[in-house]
């Protein structure tokens, strides 16, 4: 099997991309990067210009070893092209909703942001039905046919992580 030094983790919000990236980073001793940190100057507020974003991403992709995780589309095609391995966290909406609720109550200082969690849960439920991100993921996977690990259950995820140790 080809050495997997350039890993791209995709999936919608709440699927566990960052958690998996942290675990893989420790196991494989490869630095990981979040697309949210490339996209935003300050997380989830001010956005970087496309030119700056592209420069930051290309700097990461020029390295021999990286783990990139995120859900952004359009400007991320180069990651699909250069990755040795793509891990698609495509978990059931029940899992996603549970995870999003846990995250909301753990992280949110201001519970008045309930609208955000409702929007996130609606998105998780409808990801496969009418989501631009789902269409983007499947289009890129078909176009580049990367070495793919398609994880659809927590059991598969645990098995995959165990196989790396």
Least confident piece of the model among 103-107, 116-120, 136-140: 103-107
Cα(10)–Cα(28) distance, integer angstroms: 18
Which residue ranges make up each domain of the chain? 6-159
How much is the pLDDT for 107? 66
Per-residue confidence band for 133, with pLDDT thresholds at 50, 70 and 90: confident
Give mean pLDDT, residues 85-92.
94
Question: For the residues of 78-129, what is the DSSP string, one character each?
Answer: HHHHH-SEEEEE---HHHHHHHHHHHHHHH-S-GGGHHHHHHHHHHHHHHHH
What 3-state DSSP class applies to 50? helix
Per-residue confidence band for 111, with pLDDT thresholds at 50, 70 and 90: low
Give mean pLDDT, residues 11-16.
89
Q: Nearest-CA neighbor of 81 among 2, 32, 20, 8? A: 8
Q: pTM of this prediction?
A: 0.88
Q: Tell me: domain 6-159, CATH 3.30.56.10, correct?
A: no
Per-residue confidence band for 2, with pLDDT thresholds at 50, 70 and 90: low
């Amino acid at each position: 099997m080809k050495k997997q030094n350039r890993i791209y983790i995709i999936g919608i919000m709440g699927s566990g991309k960052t958690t998996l990236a942290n675990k893989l980073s420790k196991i494989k001793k490869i630095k990981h990067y979040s697309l949210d940190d490339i996209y935003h100057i300050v997380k989830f507020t001010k956005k970087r210009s496309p030119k700056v974003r592209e420069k930051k991403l290309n700097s990461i992709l020029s390295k021999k070893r990286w783990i990139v995780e995120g859900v952004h589309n359009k400007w991320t095609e180069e990651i699909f092209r250069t990755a040795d391995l793509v891990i698609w966290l495509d978990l059931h909406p029940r899992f996603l909703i549970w995870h999003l609720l846990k995250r909301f109550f753990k992280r949110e200082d201001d519970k008045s942001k309930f609208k955000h969690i409702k929007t996130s849960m609606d998105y998780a439920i409808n990801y496969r039905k009418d989501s631009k991100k789902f269409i983007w993921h499947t289009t890129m996977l078909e176009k580049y046919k990367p070495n793919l690990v398609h994880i659809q259950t927590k059991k598969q995820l645990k098995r995959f992580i165990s196989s790396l140790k």
